[in-house]
Structure 1
Amino acid sequence: MTPTTLEARWQQLTAKLGVADALRTATFRQLTAAYEGSGRHYHSLAHIRTLLETVEQHQAQVQELPLVQLAVWFHDAVYNPMRDDNEARSATLAQEFMAKTSLTPAQRQRVAFLIERTKDHTQPQPAADTDLHLFLDADLQILGAPEADYWQYARQVRQEYRLVPDILYRRGRRQVLEKLLNSPVLYQTPEFRQKLDAAARRNLQAELRQWEKGGL
């Protein structure tokens, strides 16, 4: 039976990895504090829950479920909108935790690799890496969400960049939207591509048009 709370999910996952109780508890508190930070609006615990639930729903297709779940937990653990190394720093944080588990060096590097691939969803991905494909698609599924949910996401991201003046944010956000729209592949898996690609492109176009008019 799948646990329902985030803490129960974390405890179940880390219990399998030979992690001492004190470390499991301390790391959960560390991650919770990070995702509940005052600057978090979209990249929050709600985002982590959504990804974990998506991975659970597709777990029959996952080759290394604990590794994908760890990548979910840590992939946005470090999130500073003013820096461009958040993925690398999140991967380092995961490595520091995993060094105290029963995971092999190869497994630890695999989790770090998954995290680091979230830096740019438009880059070509290894063709046969189905776990990576599902993880990336789960992370990007908000783009193909119903219109109201998408606009909430767009506003939440703007809040996370609230220290950036509108004129600079508008320029940067338009570049992000155009890069996504120009990518021939948004979703790596056939299921997500069929279900979300068209809606995602509509949402991205709608936001781009809004920024061309002046803002959200």
Structure 2
Amino acid sequence: MIATTTTLPARWSRLTTPLVSDVAVRQAMLRQLTEAYDSSSRHYHTFTHIRNVLDDLERHAAQLQDPVVVQLAVWFHDALYNPMRDDNEARSASMAQEFLAHTNLAAARRERVSYLIERTKDHTAPQPAADTDLHLLLDADLGILGVSEADYWQYARQVRQEYRLVPDFMYRRGRRKVLEKLLAAPIIYHTADFRNKLEVPARRNLKAELRAWEQGGI
């Protein structure tokens, strides 16, 4: 795994250099990812989110079975993100496969990257019981839910900005459904470490946002 003090380009190089011998291919993909995550339409689903997920996984590195595949899934899981579409994960997985075709990864590991990406579509869906890598990825992806109250409200407003083209009454209805679905799940976090640290504050934050929308907005 990569030290959390390194830059994202350095992490990308460390991750992909053993996989792709062609420097131009690695650099071109990094430019494409940078353009996507740095788009002016992004407010939460940016490289900051990618860094935070990578950092969380770094802290749980000893538990990962295939850190290379998990890290690749992190880099690509929000690469194609359009709030008005419901196939972002599938499209991001396809983008990953285009790059992975240039790597020396076995076919099964390339497919595993896509599988992990696509599982981030619905965090409340039933998950395989014995897939620690998947569980850690999902938990790290939702780490933002259990942060401090101030940071959570910043996240909630950033998500609203990404849906700025959606009228407020429609966004309120959709967001409430998302919040209610998360709160209705038996657990938000699948791994003991994340659950013990973040489950309680995450539910507190989600309930606070839900109340805010029920009272008119955030």
Q: Which TM-score applies when normalising by structure 2? A: 0.98
1:15 maps to a residue whose letter is T
1:127-177 C-alpha deviation (Å, 9 max, x unpaired): 000000000000001001110000000000000000000000000000000
Q: How many angstroms does 1:18 deviate by?
A: 2.7
Partner Cα separation in structure 2 for residue 19 and residue 174 of structure 1: 47
Say if 2:149 and 2:205, in contact at 8 Å, map to a contact too: yes
Counterpart selection for 1:104 from 73, 97, 106: 106
Say if 1:19 and 1:102, in contact at 8 Å, map to a contact too: no
Residue of structure 2 equivalent to 1:29: 31
1:152 maps to a residue whose letter is Q
Residue of structure 2 equivalent to 1:82: 84
Counterpart selection for 1:63 from 56, 62, 65: 65
Counterpart selection for 1:118 from 93, 117, 120: 120
Say if 1:76 and 1:90, in contact at 8 Å, map to a contact too: yes
What is the RMSD computed on CA atoms of the aligned residues? 0.9
Partner Cα separation in structure 2 for residue 185 and residue 88 of structure 1: 25
1:92-151 C-alpha deviation (Å, 9 max, x unpaired): 000110011001110000000000000000011100000000000000010011100000
Residue of structure 1 equivalent to 2:134: 132
Counterpart selection for 1:166 from 141, 157, 168: 168
Q: Secondary structure at the match of 2:202?
A: helix
In structure 2, the gaps of 5 or more residues are: none
Residue of structure 2 equivalent to 1:213: 215
Q: How many angstroms does 1:53 deviate by?
A: 1.0
1:199 maps to a residue whose letter is P
Q: Which TM-score applies when normalising by structure 1? A: 0.98
Partner Cα separation in structure 2 for residue 54 and residue 191 of structure 1: 11
Counterpart selection for 1:20 from 19, 22, 42: 22
Q: Secondary structure at the match of 2:62?
A: helix
Q: How many angstroms does 1:19 deviate by?
A: 3.8
Say if 2:179 and 2:206, in contact at 8 Å, map to a contact too: yes
Q: Secondary structure at the match of 1:102?
A: coil
1:98 maps to a residue whose letter is L
Residue of structure 2 equivalent to 1:198: 200
Percent identity between the aligned chains? 68
Say if 2:20 and 2:26, in contact at 8 Å, map to a contact too: no
Q: Secondary structure at the match of 1:119?
A: coil
Residue of structure 1 equivalent to 2:9: 7
1:107 maps to a residue whose letter is R
Residue of structure 2 equivalent to 1:189: 191
Partner Cα separation in structure 1 for residue 70 and residue 115 of structure 2: 10
Residue of structure 1 equivalent to 2:48: 46
2:165 maps to a residue whose letter is L
Q: Secondary structure at the match of 1:126?
A: coil
Q: Secondary structure at the match of 2:39?
A: coil
Say if 2:76 and 2:95, in contact at 8 Å, map to a contact too: yes
In structure 1, the gaps of 5 or more residues are: none
